[in-house]
Structure 1
Amino acid sequence: MLNPNVVVKNIVQNQTVANIVSLLARVLIAYIFIVAGWGKITGYEATAGYMQSMGVPAALLPLTILVEFGGGLAILFGLQTRLAAFGLGVFSVITALIFHGGADDAINFMKNLTMAGGLFFVMLYGAGKISVDRFLEGHGV
């Protein structure tokens, strides 16, 4: 009998498929952080007010933007990917606890924890071949 897990494993072990899936995964993970970071830039005052209402100093907003927007771009391009993934993973857990800990926001709490899990996998396995990291490590693309 055919084991579906082995079939998928054989497909993704093809180097071309692995490269494309790795790039697609980074794009999908980065998307939410780039959009959220950009939203904080364009809605700076509103975001600062929201942070303060949750007990977080508005002075941390520039750092938040750097982590979200900058980290999202780093993941997207595969630049310092392991560091960016670790930082965004920790950020996702912290923001889940601070901003989404209430019973009425359980979906966003779980979403943040899920993103952290995916980001920690990226931290473990890196950006893949189609990345700036790969180029900077001297392997080319």
Structure 2
Amino acid sequence: MSPIELIEKLHAKNVVLLAGRLLLSLIFLHEGLQLATHFEGAQKAMAALGVGTPLLLATIALQLGAGLSVALGILARLGAIGLGLFCLMTAGLFHTNFASQNELLHFEKDLAIAGGMFILAVSGAGRLSVDRLLTGLATGAKIDPPVEQHRSVGETSLPV
């Protein structure tokens, strides 16, 4: 049995996608909750950075809404794109003082998280997602259809 066949048989791809979604969304859910539950302090801190209340509210909504979207697999591609773009903007607007090792680290982390979100946006949430469950229930289709063949498996003849 090849490694690809073993991964497909164990559905490891879907378990890894679920774990990755949960890990990626954790920081946004945590930060969104922190901003929401400590709103006055967050409002003062953001004002010092030139961020007004409407943008703070939008940030909280994005972090919680898209964070849940990614974690649960509900429109996860859209949530991942939103959070990836948010990370790129955060890196470029707030973490460009590269003389500070801490700011450089935050810049690099934002870029890394954005990269993970864009990979998720391309790959999708996988089978272990609410979207997949709802789609299966709505269409009456079997929720766990056959695994797609990998490009390296199957017929290899070229069209003539």
Q: Which runs of 5+ in 1 are unaligned?
A: 1-5
Displacement of 1:59 in angstroms is: 1.8
Number of the residue aligned with 2:156: none
Q: Is the 8 A contact 1:86 1:120 kept in 2?
A: yes
Instruction: Decide which structure has the larger Cα Rg and report it.
Output: 2
1:48-59 to structure 2, matched below 5 A, reads 48-59=43-54
Partner of 2:62: 67
1:43-78 per-position Cα deviation (integer Å, ceiling 9, x unaligned):
111211222111222221111011111111111100
Give every structure 1 segment of 4 or more consecutive aligned residues whose post-TM-superposition deviation is greater than 6 Å: none
CA distance in 1, matches of 2:5, 2:112: 26
SS of the residue 1:137 aligns to: helix
Residue 117 of structure 1 and its aligned partner are, at CA, apart by 0.3
Aligned to 1:29: 24
Structure richer in helix, relative to its length: 1
Q: Deviations over 1:12-48 (max 9, x none)?
A: 4445211211111111111111001011011111211
Instruction: Give 3-state SS (helix, strand or coil) of 2:125's partner.
Output: coil
Matches of 2:94 and 2:7 in 1, distance apart?
37
Q: Which amino acid aligns with 1:120?
A: F
Report 1:103-114 matches (<5 A).
103=98, 104=100, 105-114=103-112
Matches within 5 A, 1:1-141: 12-103=7-98, 104=100, 105-138=103-136, 140=143
Query: In 2, Cα distance between the equivalents of 1:11 and 1:119?
Result: 26
1:62, 1:14 → 2: CA distance?
Answer: 44
Shift of 1:135: 1.8
Provide the alpha-carbon RMSD of the alignment. Answer: 1.8
Matched residues, percent identical?
36
Structure 1 stretch 32-41 or stretch 99-108: which is displaced more? Answer: 99-108
The unaligned stretches of length 5 or more in structure 2 are 145-160
